[in-house]
Amino acid sequence: MTAANTVSNVVPQRSAFHIWRRHPNLTVGTAMLLIAIFAAIAAPWLGTIDPQLIAPFNRLQTPDSQFWFGGDLIGRDVYSRTIYGARVSLAVGLGVAICGISLGLVVGLLSGFVSWVDSVLMRVMDGLMAIPSILLAVALISLTGASLKNVIIAISIAEVPRVARLVRSVVLSLKERPYVEAAITSGTPFVSILLRHILPNTLAPLLVQGTYIFASAVLIEAILSFIGAGTPPTTPSWGNIIAEGRSVFSIAPHIVLFPGIALSFTVLGVNLLGDGLRDAYDPRFVSRA
Amino acid sequence: MSDLLTVENLGKHFIVSGGLFGNFLGSARRVIRAVDGVSFSIAHGETLGLVGESGCGKSTVGRAILRLLDPTFGKVSLDGRDISHISRRALRPLRQNLQVVFQDPFASLNPRRTVGQSVAEPIKNYGLAKDAELRKAVERLFMRVGLRKDQIDRYPHEFSGGQRQRVGIARALGTKPNLIVLDEPVSALDVSVQAQVINLLVDLQQEFGLAYLFIAHDLAVVEHISARVAVMYLGKIVEIADKRRLFANPKHPYTKALLSAVPSPDPDHKKNRIILQGDMPSPSNPPSGCRFRTRCPIAKPICAEEEPELKAHGKHQFAACHFAAD
């Protein structure tokens, strides 16, 4: 074997191994989230049947080789419903993370830089934060009606204060950093200071917060569905499935168990990803090789 | 020689509000007089040392000159132009002549940018060089402050404190300023590294004709680099004089106390150490009359009644004490 061959064979393996060694949380978390995303996208091809198909013969069917996760109260296939349920959960998680962070970033940056805006916006955020996020979401949904879009909007609004507070506190502390002051005395224009020195340094905490919001949104969506204020009952979501299985939990625990496992798996994966991102984005861990 | 920087009756008061409920309870709105009427000037190529203990307002003076803070009252002029009452936009082109080096060498560099990018930023901002020329300029600055060319693309965390401070100095030199405010530039460094950095600053001053405002709490450091020294106490200058006069014949009791605390390399040298009692009073509630009287070993009743003016005692020496002539 030639030297060049050896190098080309060894380097990719080593770097993949290195990423795994350096950031195990990131790798495992990404893998878990990818599995959930794959399930959501490829749901029709994963041996599922119509998740709405009612088959009275299979009522409370225990898991077997044909019905992997068993059947629910009216005989629908729990496996198919759980797999399709990933679509709702991930859409809500991603939607809320994007909406909540964008809104919160704008509010937080404004508050951090403009002091009179700060006192107004932050009192509004305090008011929002005083209401438990689930109550707030329930109230907003009862005003607008249950649909996937409204669920995303409602949870986003409930999450905005958290992001805004985080961004504001980061901006306030960064504003006083000597390197920002040095940039001011170096004649750097305000917008460049914002883009070059403030925003990049808020990204790491925002990414971590984003994954936390993702996980929290998935949970809140499940809770909303569980209490009947979330996605319409016709759409299979993990919260819906668990809610329907609750009454027969003692005789058919599998109905609650499998969507519950899927929920925990996704939330754990996203949280691990968040921790991993936090470590990976810290420049002290960046390898120069 | 005309003065490069003139500071006239500069003051910075901070208002601490008692918060929503404090306002009702009457504990509201304390005024912290961090800097309360400070005047001095710096000539081209000169170094003025500004010393005082923590909390005396010396860094606030530096920050007010740099317009990182807006002064409450008073005037700062650079090359005869008032820079304390113009808009930030109008100030931007003037900042080229006025740079800063901070105390904490790690916090003064953006951790996500290479040191080369940090040094290049002011040069780019003022359009002094571009592309390959910019790289050359940064390389020259790196070599000049004692760093290697190949270190340009590294990140701040890969450097030691002394090296980072050299990067900070290179950044301040990039725009070819006339005046650099050195805000305790060596306080965070080891003693051996302190000497290297100070020697570098002295060399650069001679080479580029720089003027320094050297803020420090350590008289020994100031003695080495300054031509004149101003001593601050509780927001005011209590004594300002040529370095030799100040060190040989201090007039103000506070300066005397500070000097008596400077360690001497001669073991046989016996000094009467003046140990000040108590802490500096709060700048929100300064003592009546002379601000130093609560800790002054020679305080008399008049000190509580009349505030001493900064008066000349011999050529180039001013002290604010009723008994400075004694």
- Verify whether the Cβ–Cβ distance A179 to B93 is below 8 Å: no
Mean pLDDT, all residues of chain B: 89
Percentage of residues of chain B with pLDDT beyond 70: 95
Give residue B23's pLDDT: 60
Residue numbers in B near A188 (CB within 8 A)? 121-122, 125
B318 CA: distance to closest CA in chain A (Å): 32
Which sign does the torsion angle of CA B164, B166, B168, B174 carry?
Answer: negative
A139: tokens are: 């109230």
Answer yes or no: pTM beyond 0.95: no
Task: Give A96 to chain B, closest Cα distance, Å.
Answer: 28
Average pLDDT over residues A196-204: 85
Q: Does A286 touch chain B (CB under 8 A)?
A: yes
What is the rounded distance in angstroms from the CA atom of residue A18 to the CA atom of residue B263? 53
| Residue of A179, A185, A200 lying closest to B99 (CB–CB) | A185
Q: Tens digits of per-residue pLDDT, B176-231?
A: 999 999 999 998 888 889 999 999 999 999 999 999 999 998 888 888 899 999 99
pLDDT of residue B28: 61
For tokens 């020994």, name the residue: B220
Structural domains of chain A, with CATH: 25-43+74-282 (1.10.3720.10)
Location of structure tokens 């390959």: B132
Q: Does B122 touch chain A (CB under 8 A)?
A: yes
Inter-axis angle of helices A148-175 and A199-226, to 10 degrees?
Answer: 150
For B309, phi then psi, to 5°, come to: -85, 160
User: B17 at the A interface (CB within 8 A)?
Assistant: no
A177 vs B107, B121, B174: nearest CB: B107
Whether A179 and chain B come into contact, CB under 8 Å, resolves to yes
ipTM score of complex: 0.87
Distance from CA of A122 to the nearest CA of B (A): 14
Report yes or no: B151 and B142 within 8 Å, Cβ to Cβ.
yes
CB-CB neighbours of B54 under 10 Å: 8
C-alpha to C-alpha distance for B261 and B81, rounded to whole angstroms: 39
The residue to which tokens 């050359």 are assigned:
B136
pLDDT at A227 over 60: yes
Residue A7 pLDDT grade (very low, low, confident, very high; cuts 50, 70, 90): very low
Q: Tell me if chain A has a CB within 8 Å of the CB of B112.
A: yes
With beta carbons less than 8 A apart as the criterion, state whether A126 and A186 touch. no
Helix or strand or coil: residue B10?
Answer: strand
Chain-chain contact of A184 with B112 (C-beta, under 8 angstroms) = no
pLDDT one-digit tens code per residue, A31-74: 999 999 999 898 888 877 888 878 777 777 788 877 788 788 78
Better pLDDT: A84 or A70? A84
Residue B10 reports pLDDT greater than 90: yes
Q: Please tell me which residue of chain B has the smallest CA distance to A188.
A: B125
Rounded to a whole number of angstroms, the distance from the CA of A258 to the nearest CA of chain B is 44
Give the closest of A179, A188, A283 to B125, CB-based: A188
Interchain contact, A187 vs B104, CB within 8 Å: no
DSSP per residue, B306-325: SPPP-EE-STTEEE--TTTT
Q: Is the pLDDT of residue A205 over 50?
A: yes
Mean pLDDT score across all residues of chain A: 84
Chain B: closest CA distance from residue A269 (Å)? 28
| Under 8 Å between Cβ of A289 and A18 | no
Residue of A nearest to B176 (CA): A186
Residue with tokens 């003064």: B108
Q: Does A287 touch chain B (CB under 8 A)?
A: no
By Cβ distance, the residue of B102, B111, B155 closest to A182 is: B102
Contacts of A178 in chain B (CB under 8 A): 102-104, 107-108
- Distance from the Cα of A100 to chain B's closest Cα (Å) equals 26
Pairing assessment for the beta strands B81-82 and B73-78 based on DSSP bridges: antiparallel
DSSP-derived secondary structure for chain A = --HHHHHHHHHHHHHHHHHHHH-HHHHHHHHHHHHHHHHHHTGGGSS---TT---GGGTTPPP-SSSTT-B-TT--BHHHHHHHHHHHHHHHHHHHHHHHHHHHHHHHHHHHH-HHHHHHHHHHHHHHHHS-HHHHHHHHHHHH-S-HHHHHHHHHHHHHHHHHHHHHHHHHHHHTSHHHHHHHHTT--HHHIIIIIIHHHHHHHHHHHHHHHHHHHHHHHHHHHHTTSSS-TTS--HHHHHHHHHTTTTT-THHHHHHHHHHHHHHHHHHHHHHHHHHHHSGGG----
Q: Does position A4 have pLDDT exceeding 70, yes or no?
A: no
| Interface contact A175, partner B, CB < 8 A | no
As a whole number of angstroms, the distance between CA A48 and CA A206 comes to: 37
The answer to whether A115 faces chain B, any CB pair under 8 Å, is no
Interface test with B, best of A186, A188, A282, A288 (most B CBs within 10 A): A186
Q: DSSP class of residue B38?
A: E
Phi first, then psi, for residue B231 (nearest 5°) are: -110, 125
Query: How much of chain B, in percent, has pLDDT values that exceed 90?
Result: 58
Cα angle B71, B74, B75; round to 5: 95
pLDDT of residue A13: 47
User: In sequence order, which residues have a C-beta less than 8 Å from that of residue B117 and are 6 or more positions away?
Assistant: none
- Measured in whole angstroms, how far is the alpha carbon of residue B163 from the centre of its chain? 21
Distance, in angstroms, between B319 CA and closest chain A CA? 33
Q: Is B104 within 8 Å of B185 (Cβ atoms)?
A: no
Q: So what's the pLDDT on residue B147?
A: 94
d(CA A135, CA A127): 13
Tell whether A117 is within 8 A of chain B (Cβ): no
- B152 Cβ under 8 Å from any chain A Cβ: no
User: What residue type is A241 in one-letter code?
Assistant: I
Q: Are B129 and B137 in contact (CB under 8 A)?
A: yes
Q: For an interface test with A, give the residue of B76, B87, B92, B110 to mutate (most A CBs within 10 A).
A: B110
Specify burial of residue B264 (Cβ count, 10 A radius: 0-12, 13-18, 19+).
exposed
Q: Is A200 on the interface with B (CB under 8 A)?
A: yes
Q: Does B255 touch chain A (CB under 8 A)?
A: no
Q: How far apart are CA A161 and CA A23, in angstroms?
A: 30
Q: How far from chain centre, in Å, is Cα B61?
A: 7
To the nearest whole Å, the CA of B116 is away from the closest chain A CA by 14
CB contact under 8 A, A186 and B157: no
Phi, psi at residue B240, to the nearest 5°?
A: -140, 130
Which strand (E) or helix (H) includes residue B193?
helix B191-208
Tell me, what amino acid is at A153?
A: I
Q: Is A202 on the interface with B (CB under 8 A)?
A: no
- At A287 the pLDDT is 47
**Contact call for A185 and B66, based on CB within 8 A:** yes
- Identify the pLDDT of residue B27: 60
Task: Write out B98-131 in H/E/C secondary structure.
Answer: EEEECCCCCCCCCCCCCHHHHHHHHHHHCCCCCH
- For residue A129, give every residue at least 6 positions away whose Cβ sits within 8 Å of its Cβ, in sequence order, or none: A161, A162, A165
pLDDT of residue B170: 95
**Cβ–Cβ pairs < 8 A, chains A and B:** 66
CA distance A266 to A259: 11
